[in-house]
Amino acid sequence: MAKKCPKCNADNPDTKQFCGDCGTQLPISEETHVPTKTIEAPKEELTTGSTFAGRYQIIEELGKGGMGKVYKVHDTKIKEKIALKLISPEIAKDKKTIERFSNELKLARKIRHKNICGMYDLGEEKGTHFITMEFVPGEDLRSLLRRIGQLPIGKSISIAKQICEGLVEAHRLGVVHRDLKSNNIMIDKEGNVRIMDFGIARSIEGKGITGPGVMIGTPEYMSPEQVEGKEVDPRSDIYSLGIILYEMVTGKLPFEGDTPFTVGVKHKSEIPKDPKELNTQIPDDLSHVILRCLEKEKENRYKNSGEIRKELLNIEKGLTTTEKTVPERKPIPSKEIPVQLKVKRLFIPALIFISVVIFGVVIWQLFFEKDAAPRPSSKPAIAVLPFVDLSPQKDQEYLCDGMTDEIIVKLSGLKGWKVMNMTSVMRYKNSDKGIKEIGRELDVSTILDGRIRKEKDEIRVTAQLVNVEDGFQLWTETYDQRLEGIFSIQRDVAEKIAEALEARLSPEEKKLLAVKPTEDTEAYHLYLQGRWFLNKRKSEDFKRAIEHFEQAIERDPAFALAYTGIANSNTLLANYMGSPEIYYPIAEAATRKALEIDDRLAEAHGSLAYIKMNYYFDLAGAEEEFLRSLELNPNQARIHHWYALCLAFMARFNEAIKEINRSLELDPFFVGCHRDVGFIHYQARKYDQAIESLKKAIEMDPSFGGTHRYLALAYAQKSMYDEALKEFQIEQNIRKNAWIDLNIGVVYARMGDTDKAEQILEEFKDEDGIMNLHYSIALIHFFLGDNDRGFDRLEKAYEAHEISMRLLKVEPLFDNVRSDPRFKGLLKKMNLE
């Protein structure tokens, strides 16, 4: 006798426990029923219009899954529609299970991400346990696939990328889904994806809630280790994601069977058919991604979903417009073929004629129109010079700098543009250099020049766009408005620049230009003042910056940029004050609040990446956030710079050099970037190139911090100890720093002067709280041959989140202890191996 699925009404064999179409658990027949202890059913009928637990008014039943029935309800307490799931008695019968489940739900509830359905609470009403969660309108992926069949390649990649983004956040918090399937992927009309049902997720470290007779997960989507009942980690979700990708691009599941046991055996032993055999339009790279996700041994799969997203982004870039939409192909009836052949016979001579005409026009332009005015480049390159303060009191420097920065940020978000960053344009503040000279130095074709005059609540902004080559004024405008009109001025200036450069803006780009960071003008001015203090780069100014950002948030709690200001101020304080355990958690909380308000804020993703890299040493997670930030705004020199360092810390030196060169293209006069070119060469063991690059940076600014130190380290690696000690002394004269003293101790130890090295160690034996103290002392111990003390210090450096620990994988000074198992263990603990 066939079983009918309670959700999709599909007929299934009597022996099957889960629906072959949608994966829903099927009713248990009397013949196959395993006796269990009777559990009290809900005393109230959850029918439309009824109220459950005195609070939740039932709107409709949404479906039934392995966990129990799900309802759309109106929460009469908070006046919102939410989803309510009743936990099935088979799962809820054990008190320990519910207790453990409650603890695990606390983890799932911490996940706040645009691609994950939020979990609210676990409750009990008259013996019935239930979960409340965010209600997400839309259609689940499984239903969509049943309705239209396989999806276009571009659409499949878009959905998979969003799933990856949600998984990155969940796995970062230590949560594995364990039941990832197409039924649990909700898609709204705009194509936004939400992962559902983290209610059965569990801690990576904790034990699961599976008990005898209770199967957690859906057989068709289970990883081999999950089928065997082994402990699972994020790679189990990656396996399930591979099945979902397979299903989207082929319309079929890789493994199917009449019973869960049959399907499980296939997961463990059967090699999945190459999806290209089922859909020849699948790119080879995408087929490779899917099959790697479906590797039987989890060690052979991707390490994290961030890696998959990066691969998908690269594949997406290679798709043609047609492939991204994949229109339905219809066979050409045979009677149309002769007509097409006739058209082709007429078309070929015409094509030859047109080609001759085009060739003639090109020759004419090459030889006879050399003096014609050049057309604007298809890829605009622009520098926004610092706005000049024409106010009577000359007290609007923060507003001028803020206007400059904001217009740069708006233009930077335009795809294909080259927009010079703030650091490089600020060197022309109060400069008497001409437009042509500035344009040549910055390698741009156009320059925006501006003036601001403020009196009381009135503001006059004058802006002009100038062609560098001939000084021709492409566009000019004067705005007279009240202060609250500053946002419309910024938007209009950006749009007029694009219009003058004949650059067409997409509707999305126009929408981005029109975005206001806040509706409160006073909050915005407080924010600009905070940015002004932040850019002074002094510890006392960081605290003043934070005060202004906090005041801005008091006026507008939804001001996302002000939270990023707090985050950036605190990360800089951590670096300057040497107390990462104090400032980085504050920075992270502020960053996550900014992303909660606006998850498309490139600055916030960049800040989160910086925190992951420098505080948690999570280089893979940092890379994911850097890429997301650059996807949203590709013209951020600072993010390209930080990302280059992240790549270097992972020993991907060629990529790092490419990335830092991109930063220099956008910000050519930032000495720190030139310094770090040498730093990357040093980490790559290319000491001669490092010395050459660092000397160039010193020529630009002999007093820039860190340059002489890195040069000294490069000299030391070449056994040029006198030169190294000389550079360390110069660095010490620029800024007195404990690191330098300890680095000098390393050089003495390498030279064999153990007395001087021991003397420096003695000076720091009672010191604590100095940034990178443990890390630097460990190096001296290693060169003195005292590895036990060295590793003891490295462990303390790890516990203290010392920023230099991010160098552990690549720092040449550790080469003499890399074979020690303790070193390898530390690398593994830091996820650097």
**115-125 confidence digits (pLDDT tens):** 998 888 888 88
The torsion angles phi and psi of 215, rounded to 5 degrees, stand at -105, 115
Parts of the chain belonging to CATH 3.30.200.20? 4-28+37-134
pLDDT at 292: 96
Tokens 């559902």: give the residue. Answer: 196
Asked if 168 and 305 count as a contact pair (C-beta separation under 8 A), the reply is: yes
Question: Distance between CA 42 and CA 87 in Å, rounded?
Answer: 11
Are the CB atoms for 788 and 761 separated by under 8 Å?
A: no
DSSP-derived secondary structure letter, 276:
G
Closest CA to 237 of 190, 148, 174: 174
Q: What is the pLDDT of residue 87?
A: 82
Instruction: Give the CATH number of domain 4-28+37-134; options: 3.30.70.20, 2.60.120.200, 1.20.1250.20, 3.30.200.20.
Output: 3.30.200.20
Dihedral, CA atoms, 773, 774, 777, 778, nearest 10 degrees? -150
Q: Angle, to 10 degrees, between the axis of helix 539-555 and the axis of helix 521-534?
A: 170
Please state the pTM of the whole predicted model. 0.54
Give residues with Cβ within 8 angstroms of 703, minimum separation 6: 734
| CA–CA dist 113, 605 (Å, integer) | 13
Whose tokens are 């490419």? That residue is: 658
Which residues of the chain register pLDDT less than 70? 1-4, 6-45, 65-66, 94, 97, 189, 199-217, 320-378, 578, 766-772
pLDDT, tens digit, 9 for 90 and up, residues 442-489:
999 999 988 898 887 888 888 888 888 877 778 888 888 887 778 888
Q: How far apart are the first and last CA of the chain?
A: 54
Helix H, strand E, coil C: the string for 579-590 is CHHHHHHHHHHH
Question: How many whole angstroms separate alpha carbon 383 and alpha carbon 753?
Answer: 53
Positions of CATH 1.10.510.10 in the chain: 139-325
**Distance (Å, rounded) from C-alpha 625 to C-alpha 310?**
11
Helix (H) or strand (E) holding 153: helix 153-172
Sheet holding 80-86, edge to edge: 51-52, 56-64, 69-75, 80-86, 128-134, 119-125
Which superfamily does 139-325 belong to?
Transferase(Phosphotransferase) domain 1 (1.10.510.10)
Cβ neighbours of residue 630 closer than 8 Å, sequence gap 6 or more: 602, 636, 639, 640, 643
- Specify the domain boundaries for CATH 3.40.50.10610 within the chain: 381-516
Q: How far apart are CA 725 and CA 722, in angstroms?
A: 5
Pairing between strand 446-455 and 381-384? parallel
Residue with tokens 């940029």: 561
* 160, 193 Cβ separation under 8 angstroms: no
Check: CB of residue 396 under 8 Å from CB of residue 454: yes
Q: Using CA atoms, how far apart are residues 231 and 180, in angstroms rounded to an integer?
A: 16
> What pLDDT is attached to residue 654?
95
301-318: string of b/e by CB count within 10 Å (b at 16+)?
Answer: bbebbbbbbbbbeebbee
57: helix, coil or strand?
A: strand
How far apart, in whole angstroms, are the C-alpha atoms of residue 335 and residue 738? 86
Do the beta carbons of residue 691 and residue 678 sit within 8 Å? yes
Tokens at residue 605, please?
């993703």
DSSP annotation of 53:
T
Task: Report the alpha-carbon distance of residue 216 to residue 210 in Å, rounded.
Answer: 6
**Gap between the Cα atoms of 613 and 73, Å rounded:** 42
**Tell me, what's the pLDDT at 367?**
42
The reported pLDDT for the residue numbered 217 is 63
**Which pLDDT value is given to residue 258?**
79
β-pairing, 388-389 vs 446-455, is parallel
- Nearest Cα neighbor of 246 from 210, 217, 271, 213 is 271
pLDDT number for residue 331: 37
In whole angstroms, what is the distance from residue 183 CA to residue 168 CA?
A: 20
Report which residue type is found at 81. Answer: K
Tokens 């500053």 belong to residue: 486
CATH for 381-516, options being 3.40.50.10610, 2.60.40.1530, 3.40.50.300, 1.20.1260.10? 3.40.50.10610
**Would you give the DSSP letter of residue 275?**
G
* Residues making up the chain, counted from first to last: 833
- How confident is the model at residue 274, as a pLDDT? 94
Q: Which pLDDT value is given to residue 831?
A: 84
Cβ atoms of 498 and 414 within 8 Å: the answer is yes
C-beta separation of 67 from 114 below 8 A: no
